[in-house]
Amino acid sequence: MLLSIIELQPKNSTGVDMEVSLWLVYATFPILLAITILIRMFMSSPQKKWPNGPKKLPIIGNLHQLGDENLHHVSLTKLAEVHGGVMTIWIGSWRPIIVISDIDKAWEVLVTKSSDYGARDFPEITKILTASCHTILSSDPGAFWQTLRKGLQSGALGPLNIAAQSQFHERDMKQLIQIMKDEATRNNNIVKPMEHIKQNIVRLLSRIIFGQTFDDDKFVESMLFEIYDVIRIDGFARLAEAFYYAKYLPSHMKAVREANLLKLRVEKLVRPFLSSSPPTNTYLYFLLSQNFPEEIIISCIFELYSLTVDSTSTTITWALAYLIHEQAIQEKLYQEIRKTLNDVDLVRIEDVSKLKYLQAVVKETMRMKPIAPFAIPHKTAKDTTLMGTKVAKGTSIMVNLYALHHNPDIWTEPYKFIPERFMQGEDGSATNKAMEKSFLPFGAGMRICAGMDLGKLHIGFVLANLVNAFRWSCVEEGKFPDLSDELSSFVLLMKTPLKAKISPLENLRCYPVSR
């Protein structure tokens, strides 16, 4: 349409005429763009029947009802109370998403019919960093996906290999504790634990990927920078999901360029390892053994970092923040460690499973602040049904885990941090069964998180040692850590990074509880 307007100008226009014509073109272009969007909206297929949901507005859909941009999971939980456990939300005028907030329907999507709903739904920009969706997270179910997942879980993340890493994990933990002691000494007993924990996790993953001899601080720092950049770029990508023509905006095109530059930097960072001869129990060995193209190998390696580092470190710091708020719970956890393991300086990997209250604290943290409150975006792989209603192939599905974790019919005082709710024992009661079914921090079914077991183990291991080594308290008396969150990509991050005062417990085996 724009070209047609230009062609209609007189061939022999004066300079003034041309300036006026060009001004008219630029002035009318936004109007023409809006008309095109409206035409696309009203010409979209009216035959599809979507589940009920809040009334949408032209162009923006339901975006105005999602509240604060960082609290979509909370807004959708409140909307579900009005419109039901299955509702349609329009992200812009052209992108409908079915949101599931009911446990039975979530179970059907994630477990009972997981193959029907197992396809992925990501922004177009995702292809740049995933070798055109050739990673475990981004690829649809099939032979390639099964090969990748099996290779990771039975090899690098297999129980025997994780057990073989124990001495290295414990060495890293001693180093982490010492680093925090040094920071506290320099800074009036105040620490910012997040970055130290992230570095600890990058080292753990690097040994799993490249081998137990990995020791490269420069690589750790560089990888942390690239992970941060993924989150930053993802924010721009989400705009194009809501508004089709946003992909032509300078901000989005800039994000595409930066994603390509990020890809080049990651390739430069990882490529030197590809010419090595990695041990047979590493993820790199498996990837090389499949004769995958270099682009896929590097993308699969970077995926492991980008999915694990922020999610694990954030869960640990959420737990520490809650323990600062709830000193009685922190004391109870500390006393469990002392009574179960006696006077130990370091909680070992093999001891984590013995600490039942620790497991309850970890679970309650993940219930309150699920790592990915919307799980990972799903899409129907074929025409299917949901509770008997037809759902077309290609339909976007979002399971609101936050809503499931805060359902007052399942969880007593759902917005209160109560680890004891997970200490009721396996009595087979209806309440316990309902809680077990509704607790899905890692998803469920065929697309459950591949690194779930390692994640739970490492979160418990780090948290137990940080509570065993230090008393955690407010930086200023009575000024508790901020528990508000922000949703970056699909990970629920702390809006205000945790700062805390720590007191080494080497010579103090109990401390008074602040009420």
Return the number of other C-beta atoms located less than 10 Å from residue 174's C-beta: 13
C-alpha to C-alpha distance for 314 and 493, rounded to whole angstroms? 6
> Which residue, 227, 238, 301, 211, is CA-closest to 66?
238
The pLDDT value recorded for residue 66 is 81
C-alpha distance from residue 361 to each of 163, 306, 314 (Å): 23, 25, 15
User: Residue written as tokens 């995933």?
Assistant: 130
d(CA 361, CA 324) in angstroms, rounded, equals 13
> How many angstroms separate the CA atoms of 346 and 236, rounded?
43
Q: At 56, is the secondary structure helix, strand, or coil? A: coil
Q: CB of 320 within 8 A of CB of 307?
A: no
Distance CA 121, CA 380 (A): 9
Residues 6+ apart with CB under 8 A from 171: none
Sheet of strand 96-100, all strands in order from the earlier edge strand to the far edge: 86-90, 96-100, 396-399, 378-379, 119-120
User: Going by C-beta distance under 8 Å and a sequence separation of 6 or more, which residues neighbour residue 346?
Assistant: 170, 173, 174, 465, 468
Residue 428: predicted pLDDT: 57
**pLDDT given for residue 506 in this prediction:** 73
* CA-based nearest residue to 309, from 395, 224, 370: 224
330, 467 Cβ separation under 8 angstroms: yes
Report d(CA 142, CA 118) in Å as an integer: 10
The confidence score (pLDDT) of residue 343 equals 85
Helix (H) or strand (E) holding 378: strand 378-379
How many secondary structure helices (H) and strands (E) does the chain include?
Answer: 18, 12
What integer pLDDT is reported at residue 9 of this predicted model? 37
Q: Give the span between the Cα atoms of 200 and 294, in whole angstroms.
A: 27
**What's the pLDDT score for residue 24?**
44
Alpha-carbon separation of residue 233 from 70, 135, 198, 230, 433 (angstroms): 16, 19, 20, 5, 41
What CATH number does the domain located at 102-507 have?
A: 1.10.630.10
Between the CA atoms of 161, 167, 168 and 171, what dihedral angle is there, to the nearest 10 degrees? 160
pLDDT at 378: 93
Here the tokens at position 131 are 């070798």
The domain segmentation of the chain, as residue ranges, is 102-507
| Positions of the chain with pLDDT lower than 50, given as ranges | 1-26, 28-29, 32, 35-36, 39, 41-47, 509-515
Partnered with residue 61 across adjacent β-strands are: 57, 91
Q: Are 89 and 97 in contact (CB under 8 A)?
A: yes
| DSSP assigned state of 479 | B
Q: How many Cα atoms sit within 13 Å of 505 on the Cβ side?
A: 25
DSSP characters for 68-88?
A: STT-HHHHHHHHHHHH-SEEE
Say if residues 152 and 137 touch (Cβ distance below 8 Å): no
d(CA 368, CA 122): 26
**At which residue do the structure tokens 């979160």 appear?**
459
Please choose, from the candidates 184, 186, 180, the residue with its C-alpha nearest in 3D space to the C-alpha of residue 200: 180
Annotated ligand binding at 133? The verdict is no
Helix/strand/coil for 398: strand
CB 245 within 8 A of CB 195: no
Three-class DSSP category at 469: helix
Residue 318 vs residues 71, 315, 407, 440: alpha-carbon distances, Å = 16, 5, 20, 17
